[in-house]
Amino acid sequence: MDFRTTTIRELHEQLVSGTVTPESLLTESRLVIHQRDASIHAFIEVFNDQQETVDVTAGVLAGIPMAVKDNILYKGHIASAASKILENYQASYDATVVELLQQQHAVIVGRLNMDDSAMGTSTESSYYGITRNPLDETRVPGGSSGGPAAAVAAGMVSYALGSDTGGSIRQPAACCGVVGLKPTYGSVSRNGLIAMSSSLDVIGPITNSVEDAETIFNVIGTYDPRDNTSVSYDVRKQYQTKNTNTKVIGIPRSFLEVDGLDPEVLENFNSSIRKMEVAGYTIVDIDLPNLKHSLAVYYILQPAEVSSNLARYDGVRYGLSLKGEDLIDSYKKTKTAGFGREVQRRIMLGTYVLSSGYHDEYYYKARQLRAKITEEIREVFETVDIIATPTAPNVAFPFGAKKDPISLYLEDVFTVPYNLTGNPAISIPSGTNSEGMPFGMHFTAPMFCEDKLFEVGKDFERAILE
């Protein structure tokens, strides 16, 4: 059994027919993990407490091995967000997405590595050590969901759940040659996700195909009253009924002129778009003048929210606790030892932009520009069905190739805008470069129009194969 080439639907059909059993799939998953994960290090922990009997008729995910990113709570298991400060934190309840998986009798085989507190684009900042790209172990798998992307790309599990704040599902999916879906903000419950940036964080799947991404989304994309940002079905329908697929793809050409875009990435993107044109899609250029400011806006708003959310790790209630000479000194010792350099950098940046005398100049202006970008995206979807760009400006890069934070931040330039606006987006493999490393095509749809993404995505997969 090869998880890489077998869809969830096919696995389900084989389980129901008795061709394979949950035990045999779990054995296969553990075998591949044993064979490959010593060098890849996608897993922080492999669980040994899966239920002994699985009702394969309980749902389409029943009996199929999967894993979750280390910032998604699974009751009775450690959830550390790959950070020393939560090294021994044991989840006291299940995240809503985990509850939904358990209702389907999905088999959760372990927790997956990630950048410390979900801050990074290479999975080099994890407290537990780096994760390697299974396609070339000298290269990064992307981040912050590098563990989930690597586990799926290596065939260790059929699919995985990650989180996406600025591209953390889509960018590693592109680096590892798999599919990554960032659902609409509010369509998947964040209850039980360790918060990093609450107005941007979204849980989504990393899979081997668009069909599989659709299957997972249909399970986890439910309304949850325990999450006050979860959007009701009635509101979702109001957005969905306004949109019909006329097969028009818009390309923000000026946005593709960013510094650092690999010429091979651009060549692959243009070639892929031509294939969509052959497949019956109309390609038009669109103007989104403020999109170029998205990364700057993101790196003001996201650190601001980080500084607020991570203030709770004070060493008093839970997590790492180091005693100092007084309370303030205890805070300093705990947070200095508990957080990595990138997390500390963003906390300091966020505290600065929220400080007296600067919040008007930075934070409130960034919020205003975020609203402007969101409005531009909404307006452009009145004339096109999908916005297309590359997923990332470069393919997976070698470890240590990007030594300064800014060069790493630029890897999210094409994905960040749609966390700011909340729109659903997906990364789909679109071929390989001269060194055999995968490219990613990035499609974005109107709010709550995941179905449109899946339709276009499947058309794209067929077009690439032809």
Q: Is the separation of the CB atoms in 429 and 443 below 8 Å?
A: no
245: left (phi over 0), alpha (psi -120 to 50) or beta: beta
Q: Give the separation between CA 185 and CA 421, rounded to whole angstroms.
A: 9
Q: Is the separation of the CB atoms in 99 and 88 below 8 Å?
A: no
Predicted confidence at residue 149, as pLDDT, reads: 98
Q: Is the separation of the CB atoms in 113 and 78 below 8 Å?
A: no
Residue 204 sits at the vertex; the CA angle it makes with 201 and 207, to the nearest 5 degrees, is: 150
Cα distances from 307 to residues 58, 119, 197, 383, in angstroms, run: 42, 12, 9, 39
Q: Give the separation between CA 136 and CA 329, rounded to whole angstroms.
A: 44
* Tokens encoding 14: 């084989």
Domain spans in the chain, listed from the N-terminal domain onward: 8-231
Based on the number of CB atoms within 10 Å of its own CB, is 75 exposed (0-12), middle (13-18) or buried (19 or more)? middle
Predicted confidence at residue 282, as pLDDT, reads: 97
Q: Which of 2, 106, 107 is nearest to 46 (CA)?
A: 107
Is 69 assigned a catalytic role?
Answer: yes
- Selecting among 29, 69, 272, 275, the annotated active-site residue is 69
Matching CATH number, 8-231, of 3.40.50.2300, 3.40.190.10, 3.40.640.10, 3.90.1300.10: 3.90.1300.10
* Tokens encoding 254: 């000026």
Q: Is 363 helix (H, G, I), strand (E, B) or coil?
A: helix
Torsions phi, psi for 225 (to 5 deg): -65, -15
Strands (E), 244-324: 248-251, 282-285
Q: Is the separation of the CB atoms in 308 and 353 below 8 Å?
A: no
Q: What is the pTM of this model?
A: 0.96
- Selecting among 125, 144, 187, 427, the annotated active-site residue is 144
Is 158 assigned a catalytic role?
Answer: no
Give the position of tokens 């490393």. Answer: 437
Helix (H) or strand (E) holding 205, with range, is strand 202-207
Predicted confidence at residue 382, as pLDDT, reads: 93
Is 237 assigned a catalytic role?
Answer: no
Q: Is the separation of the CB atoms in 313 and 80 below 8 Å?
A: no
- Selecting among 168, 197, 272, 430, the annotated active-site residue is 168
DSSP-derived pairing of the beta strands 179-182 and 202-207: antiparallel
Which segments of the chain have a pLDDT < 70?
245
